[in-house]
């Protein structure tokens, strides 16, 4: 694999599709060939190593892969702390939370003292319990953690939650957040040789551009000069806007800005309230 850089990605599951999508959005053309283990990128020296997400931290730490796309929760649980997180990727968001049967009277971590907690994240949970100074028994389970209280295997559980539907279906209520997670790009420890370093740099830079442009919007409007300061304050996550004169008008200008946060209807109403008109919100495809 001379000079080719390997990115470990989840083969199938919640992160698989988005991981592939971000690689493609970064302009790398992925050939989904017959080889189950590797996908080849045809326009850059990159191969995707397709594996179970639990293995990704180890593969990256051992140098089997140079980069990896994995949930921070998996990195925390299965990693040895040797890989380097390059950037969060903005998808696969979830929280590792402690949940208890609805009738449970939770009054903070102390309520967990002496209880049995079922989880697929024993190491992460142990670290949390140590941090809050609580002794509890950890029951490690591979999956279906949410049924543990009903089976009397555990009093409470510690599991990944995104919408909360699974908890609700099992009459459980989240009472504590252990960690917040999303997919992250990680790299192996050590230095890359010159060839790999160049590929690595281009991946990092393009990924940064793709995740920055997700959710970012280009906002344009006409506005009275007098409300420029007010309008700048209303625009969410924008730097200094670009202001250009309008032909045939002395007191109105065109305002353009890149907003890093979501632009809601309320924002548009506030802008209109400040005197803006002809407001346009456009998606941004790429940013560097």
Chain residues that interact with Zn ion, rule: CB under 5 A: 53-54
Count, residues in the chain: 288
Min dist. Cβ of residue 140 to ligand ATP (A): 14
d(C-alpha 216, C-alpha 223), whole Å: 21
Nearer to ligand ATP, 15 or 48 (CB): 15
Nearer to ligand ATP, 74 or 223 (CB): 74
Residue 81 interacts, among Zn ion, ligand ATP, none and using kind-specific CB cut-offs from 5 to 8 Å, with none
Residue 94 interacts, among ligand ATP, Zn ion, none and using kind-specific CB cut-offs from 5 to 8 Å, with ligand ATP
* 31's tokens: 């050939």
Residue 73 interacts, among Zn ion, ligand ATP, none and using kind-specific CB cut-offs from 5 to 8 Å, with ligand ATP
Nearer to ligand ATP, 6 or 18 (CB): 18
Nearer to Zn ion, 160 or 210 (CB): 160
Nearer to ligand ATP, 73 or 213 (CB): 73
Nearer to Zn ion, 142 or 152 (CB): 142
Residue 56 interacts, among Zn ion, ligand ATP, none and using kind-specific CB cut-offs from 5 to 8 Å, with none
Residue 120 interacts, among Zn ion, ligand ATP, none and using kind-specific CB cut-offs from 5 to 8 Å, with none
Min dist. Cβ of residue 3 to ligand ATP (A): 28
* 176's tokens: 């504590």
Sign of the CA dihedral 10, 91, 121, 105? negative
Residue number with the shortest CB distance to ligand ATP? Answer: 71
CB 38 within 8 A of CB 49: yes
Residue with tokens 């099992």: 170
Min dist. Cβ of residue 189 to ligand ATP (A): 22
Residue 58 interacts, among ligand ATP, Zn ion, none and using kind-specific CB cut-offs from 5 to 8 Å, with none
Min dist. Cβ of residue 191 to ligand ATP (A): 29
Angle at 177 between CA 14 and CA 236, to 5 degrees: 75
Min dist. Cβ of residue 89 to ligand ATP (A): 11
CB 125 within 8 A of CB 178: yes
Binding site for ligand ATP (CB under 6 A): 10, 13-15, 52-54, 71, 73-74, 92, 94, 160, 162, 181
């Amino acid at each position: 694999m001379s000079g080719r850089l390997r990115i470990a990605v989840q083969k199938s599951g919640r992160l698989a599709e988005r991981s592939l999508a971000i690689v493609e959005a970064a302009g790398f053309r992925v050939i989904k060939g017959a080889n189950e283990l590797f996908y080849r990128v045809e326009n850059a020296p990159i191969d995707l190593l397709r594996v179970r997400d639990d293995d990704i931290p180890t593969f990256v730490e051992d140098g089997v892969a140079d980069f990896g796309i994995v949930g921070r929760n998996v990195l925390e649980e299965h990693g040895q702390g040797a890989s380097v997180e390059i950037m969060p990727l903005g998808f696969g968001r979830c929280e590792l939370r402690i949940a208890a049967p609805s009738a449970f009277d939770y009054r903070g971590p102390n309520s967990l003292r002496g209880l049995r907690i079922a989880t697929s994240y024993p190491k992460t949970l142990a670290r949390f319990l140590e941090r809050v100074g609580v002794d509890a028994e950890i029951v490690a389970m591979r999956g279906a953690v949410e049924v543990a209280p009903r089976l009397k295997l555990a009093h409470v559980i510690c599991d990944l939650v995104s919408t909360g539907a699974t908890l609700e279906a099992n009459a459980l209520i989240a009472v504590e957040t252990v960690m917040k997670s999303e997919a992250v790009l990680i790299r192996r420890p050590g230095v890359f040789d010159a060839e790999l370093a160049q590929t690595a740099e281009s991946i990092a830079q393009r990924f940064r551009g793709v995740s920055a442009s997700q959710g970012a919007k280009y906002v344009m409007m006409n506005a009275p000069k007098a409300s420029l300061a007010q309008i700048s304050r209303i625009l969410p996550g924008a730097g200094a806007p670009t202001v250009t004169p309008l032909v045939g008008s002395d007191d109105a200008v065109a305002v353009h800005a890149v907003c890093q946060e979501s632009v809601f209807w309320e924002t548009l109403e506030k802008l209109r309230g400040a005197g803006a008109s002809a407001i346009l919100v456009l998606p941004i495809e790429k940013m560097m």
